[in-house]
């Protein structure tokens, strides 16, 4: 069965927020470690090196991207185990991401938000984040990692329906 898209697109004063949630049967501290410890991020996103903490910049190896490039991420906020805000700039512009964790009754919800200046490109961006967040879930649960081809172009129409364009 193909993974089902779950993201939402919300209009904000500055553009749009693309929001995706994932739930874990684990304490927030464990999910935080999966998001921030290099040996754990290596399992789903890529290893990183550098100085962690707010105001720092780390280099992340994007192991699921063609050529496995290294990518700079600035840590805008880091408040364990509940808030991580990141930003980066690449050929497609500046990316602003916020990850928040909320724990209740042994379950932690991760809310991933990408702050966008417009909805342009959400038809490609949305499936990409669905894929990466499902990689995180699979790595956390010890289940097989999904393939990107299960997400794109299959989820493109869903994200176009949210009001996003298909050009990055």
3-state helix/strand/coil string of 81-146: CCEEEEEEEECCEEEEEEEEEEEECCEEEEEEEEEECCCCCHHHHHHHHHHHHHHHHHHHHCCCCC
Level-2 CATH architecture, domain 8-161: 2-Layer Sandwich (3.30)
Instruction: Name the band, by pLDDT with cuts 50, 70 and 90, for residue 19.
Output: very high
Residue spans per domain, the chain: 8-161
With H, G, I as helix, E, B as strand and everything else as coil, classify residue 58.
strand
Nearest Cα to Cα of residue 127 among 86, 88, 87, 161: 161
d(CA 128, CA 121): 11
pLDDT tens track for 29-55:
999 999 999 999 999 999 999 989 999
pLDDT of 98 reads 98
Q: Looking at residue 97, what is its pLDDT? A: 98
Per residue in 58-90, pLDDT tens? 999 999 999 999 999 999 999 999 999 999 988
Give the C-alpha distances (Å, rounded to integers) separating 148 from 85, 131, 132, 134: 25, 6, 9, 10
Provide the percentage of residues in the chain whose pLDDT is more than 90.
Answer: 89
90-138 pLDDT, tens digit per residue, is 887 889 999 999 999 999 999 999 999 999 999 999 999 999 999 999 9
From CA 40, how far away is CA 29, in angstroms rounded?
Answer: 13
CA 10 to chain centre: 17
């Amino acid at each position: 069965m193909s993974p089902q898209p779950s993201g939402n697109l919300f209009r904000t004063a500055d553009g749009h927020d693309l929001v995706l949630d994932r739930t874990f049967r684990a304490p927030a501290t464990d999910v935080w470690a999966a998001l921030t410890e290099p040996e754990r991020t290596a399992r789903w996103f890529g290893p990183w090196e550098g100085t962690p903490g707010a105001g720092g910049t780390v280099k992340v190896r994007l192991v699921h991207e063609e050529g496995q490039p290294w990518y700079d991420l600035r840590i805008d906020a880091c408040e364990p185990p509940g808030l991580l805000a990141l930003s980066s700039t690449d050929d497609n512009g500046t990316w602003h991401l916020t990850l928040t964790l909320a724990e209740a009754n042994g379950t932690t919800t991760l809310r991933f938000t990408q702050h966008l200046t417009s909805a342009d490109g959400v038809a490609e961006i949305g499936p990409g984040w669905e894929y990466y967040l499902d990689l995180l879930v699979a790595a956390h649960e010890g289940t097989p990692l999904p393939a990107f081809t299960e997400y794109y172009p299959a989820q493109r129409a869903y994200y176009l329906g949210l009001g996003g364009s298909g050009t990055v």
